[in-house]
Amino acid sequence: IITVSLFTDAKPHSDVFQYNMNYPSLGQCVIINNKNFHRKTGMGVRNGTDQDAKNVMETFSNLGFTMKISNDQTVSQMRDLLTEVSREDHSHSAMFVCVLLSHGDDGKIFGTDGFIELKQLFTIFRGDRCKSLVGKPKLFFIQACRGSALDAGIEADSVSGEETQKIPVEADFLYAYSTVPGYYSWRNVANGSWFISSLCEMLSKYGKRLEILQIMTRVNHKVALDFESSSNLPGFDGMKQIPCIASMLTKELYFSK
């Protein structure tokens, strides 16, 4: 009798579901920190954003990223900066991170002199535009309003193969927004924004051991439960916020090798 074992390969190919971190460098983390805006935009000073930028610098450099920060960028400077970064050789990097701190609206982010569609900045790093990041995670963290709606909250009871493959050009992106579409995003003038402070805290605590979506779920949990707005402006007090994660990642992402 010939028995054919269906379990000839007992060692699981776990790596096929995890991004390869075995590169000389984890990669670059680019921060665009916009605080002051031209009067014509009608946008106020974003007090507290420097604390966000400082937090991000510390957190991501501790994880092992090479940091690059640019302050008060116009729309064309933002576009040029990211285009330049996308044209660099990332073949020795495991991934790429971009943190955008600015005013925004649904689908838009502000430079100091006006706004640009976020999609225009994201597409710079698409697989067909940035070859050295193909198949690698590209993470965007966006601290900006996505509208003017406010969330008053609700009371709740406490409780690989070797052959070349074609992959979609939009694959391997993760967009983590500070708030859901249409909504306001809160920022404390002293401590920075709810989202970035929570992101940095969770990355510092769990960045070396949890998968990115687990970490981001903990960020959601912290922002949702630990923060509530305090304001003298009518209708702005006691408001809540929930971040929003859009993942096109195709594998699990652990920052450590």
Closest-CA residue to 105 (of 149, 151, 61): 149
Dist. CA 74–CA 86, nearest whole Å? 18
Q: Which pLDDT value is given to residue 155? A: 86
Is 105 among the domain residues? yes
Tell how far CA 44 is from the center of its chain. 24
Residues whose CB is less than 8 angstroms from the CB of residue 240 and which lie 6 or more positions away in sequence, other chains included: 151, 152, 153, 224, 227, 228, 229
Is 223 among the domain residues? yes
Dist. CA 208–CA 229, nearest whole Å? 31
Is 50 among the domain residues? yes
Q: Which pLDDT value is given to residue 256? A: 87
Q: Tell me: the pLDDT tens digits for 135-181?
A: 999 999 999 999 999 999 988 765 444 567 788 999 999 999 999 99
Is 134 among the domain residues? yes
Q: Does residue 98 carry a catalytic annotation?
A: no
Is 196 among the domain residues? yes
**Contact (CB, 8 A) for 89 and 132:** yes
Q: Does residue 145 carry a catalytic annotation?
A: yes
- Domain region containing 99: 25-147+169-248
**Other CB atoms within 10 Å distance of the CB of residue 135:** 14
94 pLDDT tier (thresholds 50, 70, 90)? very high
CATH code for position 203: 3.40.50.1460
pTM for this predicted structure: 0.92
Dist. CA 204–CA 143, nearest whole Å? 18
Question: Counting Cβ atoms within 10 Å, is residue 134 exposed (0-12), middle (13-18) or buried (19+)?
Answer: middle
The active-site residue, picked from 145, 200, 221, 244, is 145
The active-site residue, picked from 29, 90, 98, 103, is 103
Is 3 among the domain residues? no
Is 163 among the domain residues? no
Dist. CA 66–CA 83, nearest whole Å? 18
Q: Tell me: the pLDDT tens digits for 97-140?
A: 999 999 999 999 999 999 999 999 999 999 999 999 999 999 99
Q: Is the pLDDT of residue 34 over 90?
A: yes
Is 9 among the domain residues? no
User: What is the total count of domains within the chain?
Assistant: 1
Q: What is the mean pLDDT of residues 217-221?
A: 98
